[in-house]
A and B are shown apart, each in its own frame.
Chain A
Amino acid sequence: MRVPILKQGDYVIASIQSALTDDDLLKLRDDLAAHVGKYRSKGVIVDVTVLDVMDSFASRTVRDLAQMVRLRGAKTVIVGIQPEVAFAMVQLGLELGDVATALDLEEALALLQNEAR
């Protein structure tokens, strides 16, 4: 299932709607990198609120995504990692490196706006 990507001013927002396969995650990564170029976006927000699992592949893909977006001159914020998911990620030994995270969309937008100042 393809993740819808919305443009909102200087930012693009990808709101994940359901569980994603590995292929879906890779498509999302590539779509976002392409969107940043197309819209000259300054920031990318990925909402993962509905994901009930962030395993090693998902974490790696999110880190790669943030790195690709950064190389294209924009910043990525991951929004909505559930507390249980965060707990399992820590147990598994996963980390998102220096990828920015926020609790909700509002906080993510504030983070990107502060960055731009």
Chain B
Amino acid sequence: MKRGDMSHGRRIIPIVSDADIVEARMAARTLAEFVGFSGAHLVMIATAVSEVARNIIEYAKPGEVVLSVVQNSLRRGLEVVARDQGPGIADISQAMQDGFSTSRSLGLGLPGSRRLMDEFEVESKVGLGTTVTMRKWLP
């Protein structure tokens, strides 16, 4: 699939350097617009994608962000999966606390992203990697 092609409602952005964070959030915004999101919702999605992509750069590069259009029985939405094969998170409930960070960031990445999206799940195995899945549904 070409870059920017959204005919299948899906985009994969490799996250290797900090420039890819910008790429991921721009792609998220574009696909979210295509789904029908507007205004503050576009910014919330792009910001959440920025945070989870940055987590990969800070802790676990390389990884990838997969953006997909999703549909449940009621609504359309956007799904964001941020995946890496990094060191994993030993204590997920700790990582989900505001202000917790093992690097010098603000520690708002994961808990903040959860507040920006409607659904949020973290799966992680130490030594194997982390997958963050988040969804936002059209209001």
Contacts and interface: CB of A to CB of B under 8 A. Distances in A.
Interface of A: 19-23, 52-57, 59-60, 82-85, 87-89, 91-94
Nearest to B47: A88
B18 interface: yes
B115 A55 contact: no
B54 A55 contact: yes
Interface residues of B, number: 28
B116 A88 contact: yes
Given A54-B47, A88-B116, A92-B113, 16 more contacts: A21-B18, A21-B19, A21-B22, A22-B57, A23-B19, A52-B29, A52-B42, A53-B43, A55-B51, A56-B108, A57-B50, A57-B54, A91-B116, A92-B47, A93-B98, A93-B106
B63 to A, nearest CB: 16
Contacts of B111: 93
A91 B112 CA distance: 7
B11 interface: no
A91 B114 CA distance: 9
B71 interface: no
